[in-house]
Amino acid sequence: MNTNITKLSKLFLVAVFGFSLTVQAQLKSEITIGYNKDAPVINKNIYGHFAEHLGRCIYDGFYVGPDSKIPNTNGVRNDIIAALKDLGIPNLRWPGGCFADTYHWKDGIGPKDERPEIVNQWWGGVTEDNSFGTHDFLDLCETLGTEPYLAANVGSGTIEEFTDWVQYVNHSGKSPMSDLRKKNNRDKPWGVKYWGIGNEMWGCGGNMTAEYYVNIYKRYVTFMADWSNSGDLFRIASGANAGDYHWTEVMMRDIPKHMLEGVALHSYSVIDWSNKGSATKFSEEQYFSSMKAALFMDELVRKHSEVMDKYDPEKKTALIVDEWGGWYDVEEGTNPGFLYQQNTMRDAMIAGCTLNIFNNHSDRVRMANLAQTINVLQAVILTKGDKMLLTPTYHVMKLYKVHQDAKMLPVKVSSPEYKFGDKALPAVSVSASQKEGKTHVSLVNIHTSQSVTTQINLDGIDIKNFTAKIISSGKLQDHNTFEKPEAITPKEFKDFKFKKGVLTVTLPPFSVVVLEGN
């Protein structure tokens, strides 16, 4: 082989992919998708989001104030409202996170100029004026058509404070708290269904043991009235940190079934907590580590589900993964406590694989919340002054919203390996669903250099034709910027063939493809 040609080829690969690669033979995978009448419906709440009082998520993110020159509705940016409506977010968690267990909700109601200032001790030590509070958040949820998910202050609050909050937002009759709500210009209650009883009680919520917290949980829930008398309250216990299966065991063993609708789980795709690395300037080794951490979610969900199955074989209690996503070092020159990071094709891979995992485990996973919505961690939206951009993660979630409340189709996957050194991961991730006569298949190829030819056998599923969209780019480190906000957007995808019930798709390196058949 001509040495100069070989050198040029290697230089090309470095330029395109951002790191040196070895050319291999094209990879192949085989997938079988069938129909099972007993398969679960993929709960739309798996596609939930998370908005904490952290950095620029609320202030200078969602909320710019009614006097801002940026077009807004009651202080919330109109472009963000439009983007989140288009994304179809089913639920939104607020006000934290760690912030929840230092937040006192009565500080955030009433005339804005009379609200006390507070210091956000968790995130940057900044002073907040409480101008965005309960009314602002719940009215925003109404505008978005999304379910609010409130995280209660258990760490530094009281049972009375908590039950007053439930009464304030849910009681339609005459009571001290409903009267206070009406005084603050809201006659009709919001009817909040989803309630988290504290957050990360093993850590920032109070550094408790599972055995101690479970009794705290039962006390709070005992005094938590369902003011609508509908029986619709969905009570979520603060759950485990990643692989702490003992925590889940205690929650399921010691909380009576009639007091528990969901158990939470938190897990982030982190390379190394002591050295998380840059969001945009990363090596293939760091990328591989990120994907290994993301794919570990499958093991976490399976093992926590196995613990839950011991006490709840009918799967009535949901596993709620209400914090997930990539976590890197903050962008240079930004406040370390604000957790502001860019969002690249790596994050698109994390989003696609994680959502496939949740879809495939939708018998137990019935809610999840990406951390976080705007300007924090793996955000779907970034803002800068009056500018706004949609990240690759936003575009993945928008393509995947077709799975919301669709019947899950069981998949069997034979995947080639994506190798780095002596380690290997499955290259291909998939999930599928069916709704209103349409079949959707979401595919991810995490390999950095190799396309994967995927043969999909549609076992007894009647489909006449397919269309598809793809999210891909030239380099894993590529991302949208305020100068080029549409560098990465979904495009029409045609590199597939459909013949006699067999769909053959060629997945480019590090790409997400969603196919629609009818």
Q: What is the domain-level CATH number for residue 308?
A: 3.20.20.80
Give the Å distances, CA to CA, from 161 to 67, 72, 98, 219.
Answer: 32, 32, 18, 13
Arithmetic mean of pLDDT over the chain: 94
4, part of any domain: no
Residue 477: which domain range? Answer: 13-38+410-517
CA distance 51 to 95: 6
Of 358, 262, 359, the C-alpha closest to 312 is 262
pLDDT tens for 440-486 read 999 999 999 999 999 999 978 889 899 999 999 999 999 999 999 99
- Give the pLDDT of residue 230: 62
How would you class 475 by CB atoms within 10 Å of its CB: exposed for 0-12, middle for 13-18, buried for 19 or more?
middle
Q: Give me the residues paired with residue 341 across strands.
A: none
CA distance 209 to 235: 20
- Give the pLDDT of residue 1: 43
**Mean pLDDT of the region 323-344:** 97
Considering the domain architecture, whether residues 473 and 371 belong to the same structural domain is answered as no
pLDDT at 19 over 60: no
**Is the backbone of residue 156 left (phi > 0), alpha (psi -120 to 50) or beta?**
alpha
Tell me the DSSP string of 273-334. TT----SSS--HHHHHHHHHHHHHHHHHHHHHHHHHHHH-TT--SEEEEEEEEE--PPPTTS
The catalytic residue among 52, 128, 200, 261 is 200
Considering the domain architecture, whether residues 118 and 69 belong to the same structural domain is answered as yes
Sign of CA dihedral 205, 211, 215, 218: positive
- Residue 260: what are its φ and ψ, rounded to 5°? -145, 125
pLDDT tens for 229-250 read 666 899 999 999 999 999 999 9
Instruction: Report helix, strand or coil for 194.
Output: strand
Answer yes or no: 323 catalytic: yes
Give 22's pLDDT tier (boundaries 50, 70, 90): very low
5, part of any domain: no
Residue where one domain finishes, among candidates 405, 424, 449 = 405
CATH number at residue 428: 2.60.40.1180
Considering the domain architecture, whether residues 479 and 509 belong to the same structural domain is answered as yes
Residue where one domain finishes, among candidates 382, 405, 428 = 405
CA distance 489 to 383: 17
Q: At what angle are helices 245-254 and 284-311 packed, to 10 degrees?
A: 20
Answer yes or no: 285 catalytic: no
Amino acid at 411: V
The catalytic residue among 128, 323, 331, 483 is 323
CA distance 509 to 381: 25
Give 501's pLDDT tier (boundaries 50, 70, 90): confident
